[in-house]
Structure 1
Amino acid sequence: MHTSGPVLFFDSGLGGLTVLREARYLLPYEEFLYVADDAAFPIGRWQEAELIRRILDLFDELIRDHRPKAVVIACNTAFTLAGEALRQAHPDVAFVGTVPAIKPAAERTSSGLISVLATPGTVRRTYTKSLIESFASRCHVRLVGSDRLAELAEKHLRGEAVSDDALLAEISDCFLEQDGRRTDIVVLACTHYPFLANRFRKIAPWPVDWLDPAEAIARQLVRVLGEGASKARPDHPVDRAVFTSSPDDPALVRLLAGFGLVLN
């Protein structure tokens, strides 16, 4: 682990900001670098082999250029697909991954009916099914793949209009009634989705626990850094954001500023 570099957060778009926000509470003295592969967004539509190659090539460059002290893959699709390959390619780098929060959902459910709201790629992934077999075999777990929610979350975050009807069409399959029981937990298995959680609560047919993994990911980052966590930040380095499409977008600059980031 490099001791002087930034903590690097990676996502395909803006979703990983939910994780960075939690990490900043717990690690106020760290330098953060946010990298969004927005040129590839939405990555759930890529062929798996092509996406793995793209992520590995991009990280060869990122790790060479920035020498991060740790890397947070703040994206279920990227981590469940390429996490193991990244660790093999960079054995000296500490990676913190993002996986659907199926284990805590299984521990918390009262009805035994859980839904996992995710991108189609995460729903398809063997990794996701093995989590269900390992931690939720006594529950009824419904996998709900949404083609559009990550894009709708980006629009919402950028201040564009997103209708309740559009959101309800994407989440309605999460709600199941069976033998007098109802779904009581929905796992938000994409880091974009927590940006819409308050909207989901308003339009849901009944109250459920919307499980956001961001805090758990941030706590794991704290554990990984351990004694290497920065105790002071005397020189106040600027936290930066890099987007692979090199956008020239004043609205994005303002949005990132709200998260304490300067767009490079």
Structure 2
Amino acid sequence: MSSSGSIGVFDSGIGGLAITQEIRKLLPNEDIIYVADSLHAPYGEKNDAFILQRCMAITEYLISQNVKAIVVACNTATTSCIEALRERYSIPFIGTEPGIKPAVLNTKTGIIGVLATPRTLKTTSFSALADRVALNIQVELMPCPDLVQQVESLKLDYDAAAEVVRQYVQPLTEKGVDTLVLGCTHYAHLLPVISRVAGPQVRIINTEVAVAKEVMRRLNHAKLNKADLKTADLNTASTELAATRFITSGNQTHFQKQVDVLWGAGFTVAGF
């Protein structure tokens, strides 16, 4: 495995772009390939066998593109099948899991809430995570079947999203939740709306920065980091030579619009 390879990132749709933005900030010299499995989004409504099948297909594609590490930028895919992926492939996988531990450390009321897809909340790995770190903290779970599609449709401003967000957040705040975990990468794109609906007394926990730091740590540990830079230098390094590619299994015209809105214009998307 050569340090000349790209970092592969994938999600069921555009949720993982929030993580990819943090990776780009932290590792500006690294080439990135982002795959959105938009044709099959959302994963939160699929069974584990189907999710694994899709994750393997995307992994095979990314390996064919000479990636040196793969970020599973989807909580559902991570909790459902990342261990199976690690057993099948020798490439490093970095997963994404809900930030229950920092929520537990930050709560004052002893009650935290988790917003996630129905599939994530049903996985044994999520239950194990909650049991392991929650201790004597009350964890209120809220399945949110509509929020992924809200994001995929780019209905992200307050007027477009407040009503659907409120139906999930308000029941949690009424139970005394003071810390709210975003357990799906898509939800980061609704952070301003979720924060406003929840109110200033509720702290929101998401994990994009933590995942990006773990990517850097894993690349450094495996000596796969393209640039031999100190952490303090990474944010100011030149990005001129770093390429970012956007790939989708779905409608390329719609994906192009999503990338233009969430990442910026000037990037051409492709299909796989």
What TM-score does the superposition give when structure 1 sets the normalisation length? 0.89
Q: What corresponds to 2:225 in structure 1? A: 229
Shift of 1:5: 1.2
Separation in 1 of the partners of 2:9 and 2:40? 16
Instruction: Indicate the SS of the match to 1:117.
Output: strand
Q: Distance in 1 between matches of 2:116 and 2:20?
A: 20
Match of 2:139 among 141, 150, 159: 141
Shift of 1:157: 5.8
2:244 and 2:71 mapped to 1: Cα distance?
15
Whichever residue aligns with residue 151 of structure 1, its letter is Q
Partner in structure 1 of residue 68 of structure 2: 69
| CA-CA distance at 1:158 after TM superposition | 7.2
Q: Where do residues 145-224 of structure 1 align in structure 2 (5 Å cutoff)?
A: 145-156=143-154, 162-177=160-175, 182-204=176-198, 207-224=201-218
CA gap 1:62/1:228 in 2 versus in 1, 3 angstroms: closer
Aligned partner (choices 243, 257, 260) of residue 251 of structure 1: 257
Query: What SS does structure 1 have at the residue aligned with 2:252?
Result: coil
Letter of the 1:255 counterpart: V
Equivalent residue number for residue 111 of structure 1: 109
Residue pair 1:73, 1:95 contacting (<8 A) in 2 also = yes
CA distance in 2, matches of 1:233, 1:202: 36
Runs of 5+ consecutive residues of structure 1 not aligned to the other structure: none
Superposed CA RMSD in Å reads 2.3
Cα-to-partner distance string for 1:196-242 (whole Å, 9 max, x where unaligned): 11111222256211101000000100100104212277972531000
Distance 1:156 1:257 in 2: 13
Which one of 90, 93, 98 corresponds to residue 95 of structure 1? Answer: 93
What secondary structure is seen at the aligned counterpart in 2 of 1:30?
coil
Query: What is the aligned length?
Result: 258
Between 1:77-86 and 1:234-243, the stretch displaced more is: 234-243
Contact 1:155 1:162 in 2 (8 A): no
Q: TM-score, normalised by structure 2?
A: 0.87
Provide the rounded CA distance (Å) in 2 between the counterparts of 1:163 and 1:134. Answer: 33
Q: 1:260 and 1:214 mapped to 2: Cα distance?
A: 24
Gaps of 5+ in 2: 228-236
